[in-house]
Amino acid sequence: MAAGVKLVCLDCGQVNRVPGDRLDARPKCGTCGAGLMEPAVRELDPAVLDKAARTDEVPLVVDFWAPWCGPCRMMAPEFVKAAAALGGRARLAKIDTEAHPRATQGRNIRGIPTLILYRGGREIARQAGAQQSQAIVGWVRNAAGVAA
């Protein structure tokens, strides 16, 4: 059996340990049953964001956005396409900075949309501005060393 990988459930915030060789098998949270490695974008709240950024051992890409931001709205469908393309290699989530202004505190976010890539408890890369899905996927693969 492969070593366990820690993942925070993006729905309930519970830390789960998933065997590394089971990440492609669509693992579910042991507490609430939500999918842990779904190829979709998940909406976060600040508490879950903080916990996942500190804990996740799989790359976590967070889009800091706001509903009034034109470039953010333009990038939203591209971010969804990138989540599907990355499948079980990374998790993509977003947080509404207007609804949760605390989420930007301490993260030095100067403009939106901003993508931050977390892994193993630290920020490993950052990118500002709207991006096409191929650019997002390439950036994640390059910055996190994620296989194609």
CATH label of the domain that carries residue 97: 3.40.30.10
Q: Is residue 68 part of a domain?
A: yes
The model carries a pTM of 0.93
Q: Is residue 5 part of a domain?
A: no
Q: What is the pLDDT of residues 34-69, one digit of tens each?
A: 999 999 999 999 999 999 999 999 999 999 999 999
- Per the structure, the complete domain to which residue 106 belongs is given by 39-144
Residues designated as active site: 69, 72
| Six token digits for residue 62 | 């967070």
Q: What is the pLDDT of residues 110-144, one digit of tens each?
A: 899 999 999 988 999 999 999 999 999 999 999 99
Instruction: Report helix, strand or coil for 43.
Output: strand
Q: Is residue 9 part of a domain?
A: no
Q: Is residue 135 part of a domain?
A: yes
Q: Is residue 32 part of a domain?
A: no
Tally of domains in the chain: 1
Q: Is residue 84 part of a domain?
A: yes
Per DSSP, helices labelled H in 6-132 are: 46-55, 70-86
Q: Is residue 57 part of a domain?
A: yes
